[in-house]
């Protein structure tokens, strides 16, 4: 399988860095709204996008995937015919040891000495079979919801599956 993008932040091997009261200068997550469509609607089918392995999803990738899914859903259905929800939140703060790359930069930086890094963004940590996005629709709109979640999965840097569940 070919290498997918977002290699720098896709996997994690360190403890989560989440204590925002101690961290200065965290960029705001790009995701501002987590629920779209008809929240109180009674829908018979739930279509979920789940991750297949451990990994991290950056906040700008979550926003990009959300935009792809909601745009497709709102184009094909009206706002009352679906409920779309983001089920993860980017709590983990990503750090970056920025290096200067111009002439004379070697006199201004220390390389790997004290390379803890400054906050560069946030990411959500996901486990296998954890729901990333969820769309609730009626049975006649299942294919539209599947296509919306398929389009959103192409924006994420990890393998995903679409699971369809019917209400009891």
DSSP character string of 57-100: EEHHHHHHHHHHHHHHHHHHS-TTS-EEEE-----EEEEE----
As a whole number, mean pLDDT of residues 4-19 equals 76
Question: What pLDDT, on the 0 to 100 scale, is given for residue 108?
Answer: 65
pLDDT tens digits, residue range 44-93?
Answer: 999 999 999 999 999 999 999 999 999 999 999 999 999 999 999 999 99
CATH fold for the domain made of 1-14+42-78+127-168: Aldehyde Oxidoreductase; domain 3 (3.90.1170)
Task: Please give the Cα distance from 45 to 166 (Å, whole number).
Answer: 4
In DSSP terms, 122 is beta-bridged to 93
| Closest residue by Cα to residue 152 from 163, 164, 160 | 160
Task: Label residue 12 by pLDDT band (50, 70, 90).
Answer: confident
Question: What pLDDT, on the 0 to 100 scale, is given for residue 55?
Answer: 94
Q: Is the pLDDT of residue 156 over 60?
A: yes
Q: Residue 141: helix, strand or coil by DSSP? A: helix
The tokens describing 148, both together, are: 């919306």
Q: How many CA atoms lie within 13 A of 53 on its CB side?
A: 8
Question: What pLDDT, on the 0 to 100 scale, is given for residue 1?
Answer: 43
DSSP count for the chain of H helices, then E strands? 3, 8
Ordered by start, the domain boundaries in the chain are 1-14+42-78+127-168
The tokens describing 108, both together, are: 């201004």
The residue whose two tokens read 């297949």 is 52
Structure pTM?
0.86
Q: Is the pLDDT of residue 35 over 60?
A: yes
Task: Label residue 104 by pLDDT band (50, 70, 90).
Answer: low
């Amino acid at each position: 399988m070919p290498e997918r993008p977002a290699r720098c932040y896709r996997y994690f091997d360190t403890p989560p860095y989440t204590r925002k009261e101690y961290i200065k200068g965290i960029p705001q997550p790009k995701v501002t709204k987590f629920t779209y469509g008809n929240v109180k609607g009674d829908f018979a089918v739930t279509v979920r996008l789940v991750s297949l392995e451990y990994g991290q999803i950056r906040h700008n990738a979550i926003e990009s995937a959300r935009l792809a899914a909601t745009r497709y859903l709102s184009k094909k259905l009206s706002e009352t015919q679906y409920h779309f929800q983001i089920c993860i939140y980017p709590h983990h703060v990503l750090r970056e040891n920025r290096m200067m790359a111009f002439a004379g930069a070697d006199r201004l930086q220390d390389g790997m000495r004290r390379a803890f890094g400054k906050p560069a963004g946030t990411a959500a940590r996901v486990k296998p079979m954890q729901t990333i996005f969820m769309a609730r629709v009626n049975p006649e709109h299942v294919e539209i919801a599947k296509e919306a979640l398929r389009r959103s999965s192409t924006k994420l840097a990890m393998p995903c599956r679409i699971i369809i569940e019917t209400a009891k």
